[in-house]
Chains A and B, each alone.
Chain A
Amino acid sequence: MKTPKIKLKNVHKRFGDKVVLDGVDLEIMPGESVVIIGGSGTGKSVTIKCILGLLTPDVGEIEIDGQSVLNVSHVERNAINAKIGMLFQNAALFDSLSVWENVAFGLIEGQGMLASTAHDIALEKMAAVGLADDTAEMSPSDLSGGMRKRVGLARAIAINPEIIFFDEPTTGLDPIMGDIINELIVEITQNIGATGLSITHDMSSARKIADRIAMLYRGKIIWQGAVEEIEKTKNEFLRQFINGNSEGPIDFETAII
């Protein structure tokens, strides 16, 4: 059996009295694209932040390539993060830097590459996400939401990561731009052969990006399966979520934040 690229085993995380993750188990195989769906405040972002090392789980184990990534030194953590690219919800571009400096950031600061070499790679990656050369010197604050997402995507793939995380990739975009970004995500992850983990509550985005879908509810993965299976599922929670009904077993009022 192959080693999973990412493995979460019984991950628990609480903030004060609020239990956010209550025993998450998930395995993602190399080259696979998994989408975690779930309502707002069900712990999707916390899951990704735990894998990235931005948060530390209270209980449980997280492995990347079969190696535990918890309790590692700063140097080891940076080496792990060098394998990971992340597209943030609102792109999280550095507004003190120009567009190309944002894209090249991981190459220059993380890998110590020369700025001139990194500049060429940045332009190449920008072209891959459909950004023209003349945007390179612009400031991120001058860009539209869709373009910021593209820059964020170019920054995430600049280091040729083995794993890419997408945090709500279509949030804040119009449906057409959302679809363009979805297609870019599929195309790019396939081109560089990366393993993908996305979190979203946008079902059309999930259907497009995912090989496999997992649903997170009250800090647990309550359903997972291939993307085709969601249409014929009998799971009441999942059916309510994908159909977007207000009536059903999901109790958002008391959902754990």
Chain B
Amino acid sequence: MSFLQLTGATILGFFRAVGHITHFTIVAVSHCFRPPFYFQLIWRQIVEIGYYSLPVVGLTTVFAGMVLALQSYTGFARFAAGAESSIAKVVVLSITRELAPVLAGLMVAARVGSSIAAEIGTMRVTEQIDALTTLATEPFKYLVAPRVIAGIATLPVLILIGDVIGIFGGYIVAVYKLDFNAAIYLKNTWDFVQFVDVFSGLVKATVFGFVTTLMGCYQGYFSKGGAQGVGAATINAVVSSAILILILNYMITAMFFGA
């Protein structure tokens, strides 16, 4: 194959994939707004995606907060004396704007994206999705919409909880390891944080929830070829949602804070 052919094939393949995903997204979103709604399934997914992700989000953010306090304390000591008051500000800003949404978003992408892709992928290769259609039930409505709705609804709540836990992690290190005054630390945190810091993080969370569940459904829905195909779908779901999270994170940050 010549260089030109290869380039052409790659570019065409890329646009085909983008078109395919876009079409899937439009159909999936349209089914989120049209009845019938499967409230029981939506609730089950909220529990599955949201509630069961709490431990992993809590663990991620508490350690992020702890390490951040420690790093900035030792780091700041190099170039500024009396940088103590900055620690609380650095922690609250980094956690709410970046670390809670991105780290927790990636963890949820790994946990939820893979499980969605594996479940829907297995349903595809065992003909359960065909069976849904023959039983006069729309698979998009029954499988995709509840997961996407649950992803959008639960991620912001998860990240808000992650914000609190992350700040608490920084507080623990500052107060119990670095011997800061607890009241002053909290006052610094509270005085410094602005609405937009938390809000931008929650916008990110909503977008990440959408992307993760959508990619899981997409990869699972079009998986083929038995166990190997489901394995590939799982990998693709996690990798594509992680990449999209990183790219979209930059874009949303630029939107909110870009000069």
Instruction: List residues of chain A with CB under 8 Å of any chain B CB.
Output: 49, 52-54, 74, 78-79, 81-82, 84-86, 88-90, 92-95, 105-106, 109-111, 155, 159
CB contacts (< 8 Å) of B127 on chain A: these are: 88-90, 92
Partner of B136, one of A78, A88, A89: A78
Provided the pairs A81-B136, A109-B137, A109-B142 are in contact, do residues A49 and B131 lie with their beta carbons within 8 angstroms? no
Please determine whether A54 and B133 come into contact, CB atoms closer than 8 angstroms: yes
Query: Which residues, 113 to 155 on B, are CB-close (under 8 Å) to A?
Result: 123, 126-128, 130-131, 133-138, 142
A81 cross-chain contacts in B, Cβ below 8 A:
133-136
Please name the residue on chain A nearest to B134 by beta carbon. Answer: A86
Quick check: B136 and A82 within 8 Å, CB to CB? yes
- Rounded to whole angstroms, the CA-CA distance of A75 and B130 in the bound complex is 17
Determine how close the nearest CB of chain A comes to the CB of B45; give it in whole angstroms.
12
Min distance, Cβ A83 to any Cβ of chain B, angstroms: 9
Decide: B136 and A92 in contact? CB cutoff 8 A: no
Contact residues in B for A106 (Cβ distance below 8 Å): 135-136
For window 85-132 of B, CB contacts with A under 8 Å fall at: 123, 126-128, 130-131
Residues of chain B contacted by A90 (CB below 8 angstroms): 126-127
Residues of B in contact with A, size category: 10 to 19
Cβ–Cβ < 8 Å partners of B126 in chain A: 90, 92
Task: Determine the chain B residues whose CB is within 8 A of the CB of A92 once the complex forms.
Answer: 126-128, 130-131
Q: Determine the distance from Cα of A84 to Cα of B136 in the docked complex, in whole angstroms.
A: 9
Task: From B123, B133, B142, give the contact of A53 (CB < 8 A).
Answer: B133
Can you give 16 contacting A-B residue pairs, CB < 8 Å? A54-B133, A74-B138, A79-B136, A82-B136, A84-B134, A88-B127, A89-B127, A90-B127, A92-B126, A92-B131, A93-B131, A109-B135, A109-B136, A109-B137, A109-B142, A110-B137
* Chain B residues with CB below 8 A from A94, complex form: 123, 128, 131
CB neighbours (8 Å) of A95 from chain B are 128
Residue of chain A at shortest CB distance from B136: A110
B130: A residues at CB distance < 8 A: 49, 52, 54, 88, 92
Chain B residue contacts of A82, Cβ below 8 A: 136
Whose C-beta in chain B lies nearest to the C-beta of A96?
B119
Nearest B residue to A161 by beta-carbon distance?
B134
In this complex, what residue of A is CB-closest to B123? A94
For A83, the closest partner residue in chain B by CB is: B136
List A contacts of B136 (CB < 8 A): 78-79, 81-82, 106, 109-111
Interface residues of B in 56-98 (CB under 8 A from A): none
Residues of A close to B133: CB separation below 8 A:
52-54, 81
Q: Would you give the shortest CB distance from B134 to chain A, in whole angstroms?
A: 4
For B137, give the chain A residue with the smallest CB separation.
A109
Which residues from B are CB-within-8-Å of A74? 138
A86 x B131 contact (CB < 8 A): yes
A53 CB contacts on chain B under 8 angstroms: 133
Contact B134 A105 (CB under 8 A): no
Q: How far is the CB of B144 from chain A (nearest CB, A)?
A: 14
Q: Once the chains are docked, how many angstroms separate the CA of A110 from the CA of B137?
A: 6
